[in-house]
Amino acid sequence: MRNALLKARLNDESTNMLEQSRQALAESERRFRDVVETTADWIWETDLMLRFTWISGRFPVSTGYSALDWLTRPLTEFLRTNSTSVDQWKSDSQPGDHLSLKHCRYISAQGEVRYCNLVIKRVALADGRPGFRGTATDVTSEVEAQARVRYLSHHDELTGLANRIRMKEFLEACLNPSLASDYTLAMLTLDLDKFKPVNDLFGHASGDDVLNDVAARLRECMPENGLIARHGGDEFILIVPFIRSEAEVEQLCQLIFTAIRQPFYVQGNEIIIGASIGIALAPKDACTSSDLLRFSDIALYQAKNTGRNCWVFYRPEMGEQILQRREMENEMRDAIQNGQFHLTYQPRYDVKSNTIYAVEALVRWHHPHRGVLMPDQFIPLAEETGLIVALSDWVLLTACTDVRRELGNLSVSVNISAVEFEIGGFAARILSILAKTGLPPSCLELEITESAALKSTGPMLEIMHQLRALGVRFLIDDFGTGYSSLNYLNTFPFDGIKLDKTFIQPIERSENARQVVEHMIGLGKAWYLEVTAEGVEEEAQMTLLKAFSCDALQGYYFGRPVSLETLKEALKTFQCKVG
C-alpha cells in the first residue's frame, strides 16, 4: 500500500513535472514564434548540403518569394555572392561553428538586387540529424546608402564623371610598378575654350547643361579601359592606360576635337566651343600621379598659349619656360610698386590744323636685370595673370597726370586690353582716375584693338555709352588686322580708327597697298570716324596720306615714343619740321 502510494505520488510528481516542462516548452515555442514573426530577419534551417528545410514566415516579406519556392533548394543558389566561401565553410565546419557574412547579394522575386547579412550555425536539427540554422537580416537600404556615399565621394555630382579622389585612386592602380616594362599610360588634361561666355551669357544652369553634354561626348570617345574625371570648372582629365604610340594618343585627341567642335544648343542658340589638351606620358615623362598632373597641366598651358584648339605633348623644356614666366609675374607685381614702369609718349599729328594735338602713351618696363622691356614682352603675361588692371591703372593715372600738368591742351590716348572689359568695374576706374587727376574727359582717348572690340560684346557697349556721355573718346586700334566683319562699326559708337602700320609701310612701293589704304580711309569716313594712319616713317607716305584725306598721322616721321621731358622739347621745334 505504502509502495503503491509512493509510486502514485512519484507518478503525480512526474506528471506534474512533465506538465510543467510541457508548459515551459510551449512557452518557449510561443516565445520563439513571436520572435520569428516580429523580427525583421528571416530564419531558416538547412540540411548538411545547405538545402532549405524550413524558412520562417518573414521570408516572403523580405524577399518576395514564398517559402515553397526555395524549400529543398540550396542557400548557395539563393546567394549571388559569397556562395563559394559558404560552400568552403560548410565542408570544414564542426558542430557549433558559426559563420557571419556581410552584404550577401541576392535577387528578390521582383528582380531587384538586395542585400542581407547572414549568420550561419552548424546545429543538430529537431530530428537529431546535423544541419545548419541561421538568420538573414535585410541590409539593402544600408548598403545602398553606403554605395551612394561612396559614389558621391568619388564622382562629380554634375556630370557623374570620376572626381579627383577616384581619379587619383585609378591612376595609382594603373601606375603600379609591377606593370610590364613597355607599358605606357597617357594623361590628357583638357580645358574648354570659350566656355566662360556660355556661363556669362546664358546662366549657370545652361553652362551645366553644356558641361554634361561635353561629358557625354568625352565618354563616347574614350576607350573602355580609360577613365574620365572632371577636374573642376571646365577642366577634364582623361587617363588612358595601355597606349601603344603617341600616334594613338593623337588619334584620340582628334576624335575628341571632332566631338567637342560639334555645335551645342543652348536656349535655342547654336554654340561652338573648343578645347585645348595637354598630354603627359608615363613612364616617359613621369611615374607618379602628382608629376603627371603637373606635367600635363604645363603642356595644357602651352597648348593654350599656342593659340588654343590644339593638343601639346609635354616636353621638359616647357617646365623651365613656365618657371621663367612665374618669376616674371612676381617681378611684375613688385615692378609697379617699385616704379620700374615708365611711360613714353608718341605725338599724333592733325593734318587740318597742322599741329600735334594728341599723344599716345606707350609703356616701358625698366627691368633691373633685363634692361628696357617693350610692351610685347610683358603685356600678354599681364593680361593672362590679371596684373593688367593694376598696370593699366598706373598707366592711366600717370598719363592723365602728365598731360594735365605738362601738356596743357593736348589729348592723351591710352591702350586698353580686351580683358579689362571682362574683369568689370572698368567705367568706375576711368571715372575715378579722371576725378583724381582733374583731366577733362574730352582729353582722354581709349584705344581698343579690333579683335578686343569683337571679343567683348556684353559689357563693352554699356561702358562706351557711359564714358562717351562724359566726352571720353574711343578709337579702334590696329584697324584692318582683326576680323573682316565690320559689323561692330554698326554696334559700337567709336570715334575713330587707327590704320595699322603694316598697311601704311608699303604704300610708296605698291599700287595695291595704296588702293587698300585709300579704301580703308573712305570706309572710315563713311562711318564718320576720324582716321589716323600709324607707322608713318617717310615724308612720301605723309604726302600720299594727306592726298587720301587721312585726318591724322602718327609715326617715327613725326616723332618716336619718348619721355615726357623729351617730348616737351620736341614740341617746341615741331612747327619747323612740318610747317
Q: For binding to Ca ion (CB under 5 A), which residues are involved?
A: 415, 447, 477-478, 534
Residue choice 395, 472, 475, 564 for contact with ligand C2E (CB under 6 A): 395
Q: Which is nearer to ligand C2E, 70 or 574 (CB)?
A: 574
Min. distance of Cβ 238 from ligand C2E in angstroms? 36
Other beta carbons within 10 angstroms of residue 344's beta carbon come to: 18
**Cβ contact 481:419 at 8 Å:** no
**Binding partner selected for residue 379 from Ca ion, ligand C2E, none, CB under the kind-specific 5 to 8 Å limit:** ligand C2E
* Contact letters for ligand C2E, residues 496-515 (x by CB under 6 A): -----x--------------
Min. distance of Cβ 530 from ligand C2E in angstroms? 16
**Cβ contact 352:553 at 8 Å:** no
Q: Which is nearer to ligand C2E, 249 or 416 (CB)?
A: 416
Task: Tell me the C-alpha to C-alpha distance, in Å, between residue 185 and each of 247, 287, 296, 354, 396.
Answer: 13, 10, 12, 68, 51
Beta strand segments in 409-458, E: 411-416, 444-449
| 3-class secondary-structure state, position 142 | helix
Q: Which three cell numbers stand for residue 380?
A: 600678354
Residue choice 270, 376, 511, 565 for contact with ligand C2E (CB under 6 A): 376
Q: Which range, of 12-20, 31-39, 426-434, 533-541, touches ligand C2E by CB under 6 A?
A: 533-541
Min. distance of Cβ 155 from ligand C2E in angstroms? 43
| 3-class secondary-structure state, position 410 | coil
- Is 32 a residue that touches ligand C2E (CB under 6 A)? no
Q: What residues from 163 to 192 belong to the interface with ligand C2E (CB under 6 A)?
A: none
| 3-class secondary-structure state, position 552 | strand
Instruction: Let me know if 198 is exposed, middle or buried by CB neighbors in 10 A (0-12, 13-18, 19+).
Output: buried
Q: With residue 541 as reference, give the H or E element that holds it.
A: helix 539-547
Min. distance of Cβ 306 from ligand C2E in angstroms? 21
List beta partners, residue 311. 277
- Is 556 a residue that touches ligand C2E (CB under 6 A)? yes
* Contact letters for ligand C2E, residues 396-435 (x by CB under 6 A): -------------------xxx------------------
DSSP 483: -
Q: Which is nearer to ligand C2E, 163 or 417 (CB)?
A: 417
Residue choice 10, 26, 205, 374 for contact with ligand C2E (CB under 6 A): 374
Min. distance of Cβ 388 from ligand C2E in angstroms? 6
Q: With residue 180 as reference, give the H or E element that holds it.
A: none
Min. distance of Cβ 379 from ligand C2E in angstroms? 5
Q: Which three cell numbers stand for residue 187?
A: 594623361
Residues 6 or more apart whose Cβ sits within 8 Å of residue 464: 474, 492, 493
**Binding partner selected for residue 270 from Ca ion, ligand C2E, none, CB under the kind-specific 5 to 8 Å limit:** none
Q: Which is nearer to Ca ion, 420 or 478 (CB)?
A: 478
| 3-class secondary-structure state, position 278 | strand
Q: Which is nearer to ligand C2E, 525 or 560 (CB)?
A: 560
Site size for ligand C2E (CB under 6 A): 22
**Binding partner selected for residue 127 from Ca ion, ligand C2E, none, CB under the kind-specific 5 to 8 Å limit:** none
**Of residues 373, 343, 347, the one with CA closest to residue 360:** 347
Which phi and psi angles does 139 have, rounded to 5°? -125, 25
Other beta carbons within 10 angstroms of residue 77's beta carbon come to: 13
Question: How many angstroms separate the CA atoms of 185 and 286, rounded?
Answer: 10
Residue choice 70, 535, 545, 551 for contact with ligand C2E (CB under 6 A): 535
**Binding partner selected for residue 374 from ligand C2E, Ca ion, none, CB under the kind-specific 5 to 8 Å limit:** ligand C2E
- Is 377 a residue that touches ligand C2E (CB under 6 A)? no
Question: How many angstroms separate the CA atoms of 272 and 282, rounded?
Answer: 33
- Is 296 a residue that touches ligand C2E (CB under 6 A)? no
- Is 347 a residue that touches ligand C2E (CB under 6 A)? no
Q: Which three cell numbers stand for residue 125?
A: 536539427
Contacts to ligand C2E by CB under 6 A: 346, 362-363, 374-376, 379, 392, 395, 415-417, 447, 477-478, 501, 535-537, 555-556, 561
